[in-house]
Amino acid sequence: MAPLDGLDNVRRILAEDPRCKWGFVIYRCTYDDEAAWQKFMAHLNDRVRLNLEEEGNGELFDRLDWSVQEDPSLEGALVEDVRARFLEWTTAHAAEDDWMGTPRFHACVMVEKTHVEGVLEGPPADEFDSWGEGSVVLVSKNEDEDMTFVGASLLVPRVYTLLENDGWDSFAVDPDEGDTAECLTMV
């Protein structure tokens, strides 16, 4: 299992290429409350910044790029719809994948209204949500891996580094199974 930091490869690649960004692509699938969306994104950014700072990696936050994909036709989209869009995105941005298949090009984040509400109703950004009360959907580009729920507090760097270092099966739980992977609750 990768160490909790696990960001050595990210750090190395960012140092080698100042153009590179890292982080998941986010698909916005809710459009009825712009203020709530802005609060959600602020919460996510604050939590990730704190996660990185707490691990001594605060300098990596400036290179984080969510590449939020906004299209009102995604309102009510299915996982398959988001996966199709993500596959198009990875093809269109293949030249940017200097990292040979990093998490940014392996999975994306799908955010629906219930996810925005859950994150905003859960613990504030300055409190780590170790139980994943506020979660998002992580969609693999691989149909066989499908999707899994991930606590927003765990998304970056924990899940990002697990996906990069140990792979999808190291954290993903079949949504029909219900529970969060043990490796995500032991942070």
CA angle 54, 187, 86 (to 5 degrees): 85
Is 2 contained in some domain? no
> pTM of the full predicted structure?
0.90
| Residue 3 located in a structural domain | no
* Domain presence at residue 73: yes
pLDDT of residue 16: 85
Give the C-alpha separation, 21 to 13, whole Å: 9
Predicted confidence band at 158 (pLDDT cuts at 50, 70, 90)? very high
Q: Could you give the C-alpha distances from 41 to 16, 30, 34, in angstroms and in order?
A: 29, 13, 11
pLDDT at 59: 93
pLDDT score at 173 = 83
Please give the residue range of the domain that contains residue 28.
8-185
CA pair distance 141, 152, nearest whole angstrom:
19
In a domain, 1, yes or no: no
Q: How many domains does the chain have?
A: 1
- Position 130 in a domain: yes
Query: Is the residue at 115 inside a domain?
Result: yes
- Specify whether the CB–CB gap between 139 and 111 falls below 8 A: no
Mean pLDDT of the chain: 88
- For residue 185, the model assigns a pLDDT of 42
Give the C-alpha distances (Å, rounded to integers) separating 37 from 24, 42, 43, 115, 173: 17, 9, 10, 10, 26
